[in-house]
């Protein structure tokens, strides 16, 4: 499952392990929003790695309940984060996810009998750097790497790697421009930041 090769996910032992992981995910979503301590504790149990000061808003969904997810420190995810974590997902410190973001590591062969009759799938790890920001409704596909500080615009579908320090948008997602002085001086279009004075 974690080797990046084609396999059959319908094996009874795998399915049972996945159900146990998903039930922990259900327990997380049943916690009170105000139970920050309980939410943090359960995430640390669910995830492969969970840094300090992370927050995932409820509801949150993961195929394997986060078992293959590695979060750095200070990661924030808004409502409806969906992690198809059949493969590993690595997220660097201080990265943010907008509402309804989806990170997918699983794919299926294109040849129809392998999908419909055998249900074969494969998993490719996703790497997201530090200080990245993925806007609302962003989808990241299997095998993608997103560099440090990169901003992915709302609604984008990331099919290929993105370098560090860029703004990228679209379906498929493409680099729009580098992050630069304009981003230092303005917070929205041509509205000037006044926090530097």
- Give catalytic residues, as residue numbers: 108
Integer Cα distance of 162 and 35 in angstroms = 36
Work out the angle at residue 64's Cα, subtended by the Cα atoms of residues 27 and 14, and round it to the nearest 5 degrees.
115
Task: Pick the closest to residue 96 from 128, 130, 66, 134 (CA basis).
Answer: 134
Any idea what DSSP says for residue 166? E
């Amino acid at each position: 499952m974690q080797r990046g090769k084609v396999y059959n996910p319908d094996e009874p032992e795998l399915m049972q392990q996945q159900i146990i992981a998903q039930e922990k995910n259900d327990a997380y979503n049943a916690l009170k929003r105000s139970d920050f301590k309980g939410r943090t504790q359960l995430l640390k149990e669910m995830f492969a790695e969970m840094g300090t000061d992370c927050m995932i808003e409820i509801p949150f969904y993961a195929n394997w309940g986060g078992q293959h997810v590695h979060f750095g420190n200070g990661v924030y995810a808004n409502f409806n984060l969906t992690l198809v974590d059949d493969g590993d997902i690595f997220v660097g410190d201080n990265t943010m996810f907008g509402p309804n973001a989806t990170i997918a590591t699983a794919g299926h062969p294109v040849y129809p009998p392998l999908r419909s009759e055998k249900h074969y799938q494969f998993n490719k790890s996703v790497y997201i750097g530090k200080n990245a920001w993925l806007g609302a409704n962003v989808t990241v596909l299997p095998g993608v790497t997103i560099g440090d500080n990169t901003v992915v615009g709302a609604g984008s579908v990331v099919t290929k790697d993105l370098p560090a320090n860029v703004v990228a948008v679209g379906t498929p997602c493409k680099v729009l421009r580098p992050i630069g002085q304009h981003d230092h001086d303005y917070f929205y279009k041509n509205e000037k930041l006044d926090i530097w004075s």
